[in-house]
Amino acid sequence: MNFSKLSNIVNDINAVLLPRLCFGCNARLYRGEQHLCAFCRNQIPLTDYDYVVENAVDRIFYGRIDIKKASSFLFYMEKGITKNIIHHLKYNNQPVIGDFLGTWYGQILQQTKQLQNIDYVIPVPLHRSKLKKRGYNQVDSFGKRIAQSLQSRFLSTCLVKTANTKTQTKKGRFFRSKYTSDLYKIIDKEVLSNKSVLLVDDVITTGATIEACAKALDKVKNIKIYILTMAVVP
């Protein structure tokens, strides 16, 4: 018996003893399937937004923050594949999902001329006590893969969250802006001046978190801000 046959048998035995499950629907994965089953891979709701044409994510931020362009990879519904995989990413210690989504979207973005001059990919930060509790920032693995694809640098130390509170989403926009303007701050403005940065996050709902981060970034001289998220609530 040759080695590859033997290793297939070992893999099959492993699959029975330790079945790998689809992050989208919990079905057992077959040999050759990674993270998602064939059905979920086919059904996952891609936005098909790119960085060339104006899209619904851009429009979320009109009149709120000064950004060059925004996009999201997936639609996030009340129920479904996107919600399930992001739940695994955030709460079930599965940062590998960020690698998977970041590699996939990164390959698509490589074709995009708009993003060829990004200097830094910056993740929306967690407050340090939240980071300690979760053990990782769920956006990091995604951001690192995107940075690799764009041949830019991943920078997670420059933007920090100053208080362990949720971004206020229910209050009015005026109150929210005032309240959240100091929730994030820049540690080193010099590093970012005259640079193009891509701010990355998991899901955009109201856009309040991105807005607060972008306002902090916007205090840097001559910075260009782009936005990218794994998903957006349509």
**CB nearer Zn ion, residue 4 or residue 42:** 42
Burial 16-46 (b: 16+ CB within 10 A, else e): eeeeeebbbeeeebeeebebbbeebeeebee
Cross-strand bridge partners of residue 199? 122, 227
Contact between 22 and Zn ion by CB under 5 A: the answer reads yes
Which range in 33-41, 51-59, 66-74, 134-142 contacts Zn ion by CB under 5 A? Answer: 33-41
Contacts (CB under 5 A) with Zn ion, residues 180-199? none
**CB nearer Zn ion, residue 39 or residue 136:** 39
Which range in 35-43, 65-73, 194-202, 215-223 contacts Zn ion by CB under 5 A? Answer: 35-43
How far is the CA of 109 from the CAs of 49, 50, 113, 146, 207, in angstroms? Answer: 10, 8, 8, 8, 22
Smallest Cα–Cα separation from 89: which of 140, 132, 48? Answer: 140
**CB nearer Zn ion, residue 27 or residue 46:** 27
Which range in 2-10, 16-24, 88-96, 215-223 contacts Zn ion by CB under 5 A? Answer: 16-24
Contact 95, 212 (CB under 8 A): no
Contact between 85 and Zn ion by CB under 5 A: the answer reads no
Contact between 23 and Zn ion by CB under 5 A: the answer reads no
Is residue 145 exposed (0-12), middle (13-18) or buried (19+ Cβ within 10 Å)?
A: buried
Contact between 35 and Zn ion by CB under 5 A: the answer reads no
For Zn ion, the binding residue among 10, 17, 21, 24 (CB under 5 A) is: 24
**CB nearer Zn ion, residue 37 or residue 220:** 37
Cα 35 from Cα 29, distance rounded (Å): 8
Contact between 25 and Zn ion by CB under 5 A: the answer reads yes
Q: Minimum CB separation from Zn ion for residue 43, in Å?
A: 8
Which range in 14-22, 49-57, 138-146, 178-186 contacts Zn ion by CB under 5 A? Answer: 14-22
Q: Minimum CB separation from Zn ion for residue 99, in Å?
A: 18
User: 190 phi and psi, to 5 degrees?
Assistant: -60, -45
Tokens of 214: 């972008």
Tokens of 44: 């996952």
Cα 140 from Cα 102, distance rounded (Å): 10
User: 83 phi and psi, to 5 degrees?
Assistant: -60, -40
Contact between 40 and Zn ion by CB under 5 A: the answer reads yes
Contact between 44 and Zn ion by CB under 5 A: the answer reads no
For Zn ion, the binding residue among 37, 67, 124, 186 (CB under 5 A) is: 37
Footprint on this chain of Zn ion (rule: CB under 5 A)? 22, 24-25, 27, 37, 40
